[in-house]
Structure 1
């Protein structure tokens, strides 16, 4: 089941405010979706995710197929009960992970052959198998199996002809996914994925063919795959608002806080990215006033929280109030990082996710109030100010 209600739009951009009703709950859009590759958002309890405002999270079809395996997830009736998360889940199709295997995989019309990165077993992933896996996972949003068009392969920039071949294969796989999804009587929602590389006219061809198939929602894939930032921004400015206005639009794998605000302005409703969690584990913190490197020696004795405007557990402690008593200092988090203590990345991950989810909540509030243009300008000024 999927119902998308468009509540209002911004007169000065393509930004929009909506609600997305799925089998496991209602999602307020625009939304950022934390990534839980192996059935967990690394270092964060499900209750903490709920407390910071997470409405929907991701699972990874490829990795969950490898471990724990479909028999285990089937035993639990799907991913929700297995990972103790009762809100919506979106699962990717495995296409990006197969792409990332590089020379270890062989693509054909039928599907992709590759060796398991876990135990070396020879495996074959097809559109039909991807649909079967995601049906067993019982994710609220299922992604079609696609071929992620590369940007640069060993110094070779993908040509227009190569991008077309890849895009047309993804369209054919979309039809097979749709047919198998229906055959399996999956009660959830299947999204098509627009491909076409860095070529706008190929994006439009892909989009037109997918719209003819009448998917419940659409994603934009093949960005953040190594292309220069201006190229990504060009495709992000071109494609989202051309998708059907009455259906949700999802930009896959993007990105920085600036990318999220710009993506919303271009008409995107849904985002995911590993950046807030991965960067947190590597000592990079996102704040209202720019990025902070907690490993820098200048933080060794700094009593300030990561972000004095933040109400997350790392910054405000149990008070839940910005600048409140009980928050953790930059000095303490610097110390934890230097010592390799697991509490360090747990706290910085909580902060980064809280920041991303709060940013999206502020965007929704600005769209409701009709002040998105002003919000966008103030956001840019704040982030440029620096920590």
Structure 2
């Protein structure tokens, strides 16, 4: 994998780059639609490619490990062939999912023992077998196994948690070096910076992970309940330390405003379930603000979904039509809304990239942030 830094904004830390993988090139900044079980919920792959122009999608190691399982994925030739997606794929480590299984998991130095949310069966994730699992899934970019502590964790817990994550990271990279991709292409391993909202722990974490000279780096454990200004502060702390010639991935973030603020602070990659999850519930993100499509005010609004007419999806769909489908409980409403929101997110990061290239990102971003917070 190769990352080329192509432009930097003169008035901020915003960057435009190109990430090259064996399954394709990814212009950055980039948003990655979340395909938890090997699919972006309710969205055909052809629409991901042709409508919203997704360049990379994310899969979830925990869910894919449980179902369909690594044996099936290996026999299929990996997730790319199993799912029929020929672009790049990133997988998380499953750490966030197993640590969120409160009451049915036990954390030790060895790893994390947990019960399946599907059938109650018992399993163990270790740094070693999580790397092996992601090798078999076949992701272009794999994440190291880490503990994601609660955003409200006390300092002592956060510090001990990071120390354990650091020891796990050493084991992850040892296993990564000893193994190869079973499908013959390159797989990258990104370490994850943790440390909750404590600047000294974030610095310690960032300094530690950069010694691995990885293809890229992730920032985890943010957007989990802390105030947005604190999240932005932690991003600044970390990005002062992470190498400038490698991509930086902010995990699980977030709102359009969060994304623009993070781009301004030097982040390159994002993922979040918000576009599809909120879309299924009737919330639409647009270039002028947020729409609740269930509201009566849209019942006879025959204009395009985006107020400025941006063609994130087929322009034949109007607010009135989408509202009708939504209140009628028609499944196509969720599909259209999901496509629209994904299209908007991909448009937003693409437009940010263009603004960085021409040198007026900071002014454009300030204008967009004011708009994106509106309720229309």
Q: Does 1:334 align with 2:334?
A: no
- Report what 2:70 is aligned to: 70
- Report what 1:159 is aligned to: 154
- Report what 1:34 is aligned to: 33
Q: Residue 25 and residue 179 in structure 1: after superposition, are their counterparts in 2 closer, same or farther (change >3 A)?
A: same
1:383 & 1:192 partners in 2: Cα distance?
A: 32
- Report what 2:135 is aligned to: 135
Q: Flag structure 2 segments of 5+ consecutive residues without an equivalent.
A: none
1:229 & 1:101 partners in 2: Cα distance?
A: 25
Post-superposition offset of 1:143: 0.2
Post-superposition offset of 1:368: 1.0
- Report what 1:215 is aligned to: 214
- Report what 1:360 is aligned to: 349
Post-superposition offset of 1:298: 1.9
1:162 & 1:384 partners in 2: Cα distance?
A: 35
- 1:43, 1:345 within 8 Å by CA — same for their partners in 2? yes
- 2:264, 2:362 within 8 Å by CA — same for their partners in 1? no
Return 245-254 or 304-313, whichever deviates more: 304-313
2:337 equivalent among 345, 348, 372:
348
2:141 & 2:158 partners in 1: Cα distance?
A: 26
| Larger relative contact order (Cα-Cα within 8 Å, sequence gap ≥ 6) | 2
Q: Residues 300-342 of structure 1, C-alpha deviation per residue, up to 9 Å, x if partnerless?
A: 222122114221334x1xxxxxxxxxx1221221121112111
- Report what 2:166 is aligned to: 171
Return 160-169 or 305-314, whichever deviates more: 305-314
- 1:106, 1:113 within 8 Å by CA — same for their partners in 2? yes
> If the length of structure 1 is used for normalisation, what is the TM-score?
0.93
Return 206-215 or 375-384, whichever deviates more: 375-384
- 1:220, 1:240 within 8 Å by CA — same for their partners in 2? no
- Report what 2:47 is aligned to: 48
- Report what 1:380 is aligned to: 369
2:329 & 2:121 partners in 1: Cα distance?
A: 34
1:272 & 1:381 partners in 2: Cα distance?
A: 22
Q: Flag structure 1 segments of 5+ consecutive residues without an equivalent.
A: 152-156, 317-326
Post-superposition offset of 1:234: 2.4
Post-superposition offset of 1:63: 0.2
Q: Residues 217-241 of structure 1, C-alpha deviation per residue, up to 9 Å, x if partnerless?
A: 1000001222233322322232224
Matches within 5 A, 1:1-387: 2-51=1-50, 52-151=52-151, 157-186=152-181, 187-308=186-307, 309-314=309-314, 316=315, 327-383=316-372, 387=376
1:147 & 1:345 partners in 2: Cα distance?
A: 33
- Report what 1:324 is aligned to: none
Count the aligned residue pairs.
370
- 2:293, 2:319 within 8 Å by CA — same for their partners in 1? yes
Post-superposition offset of 1:25: 0.9
SS at match of 2:90: strand
- 1:14, 1:241 within 8 Å by CA — same for their partners in 2? no
SS at match of 2:164: helix
Return 233-242 or 249-258, whichever deviates more: 233-242
Post-superposition offset of 1:253: 0.4
- 2:290, 2:373 within 8 Å by CA — same for their partners in 1? no
Post-superposition offset of 1:252: 0.3
2:197 & 2:363 partners in 1: Cα distance?
A: 31
Return 34-43 or 367-376, whichever deviates more: 367-376
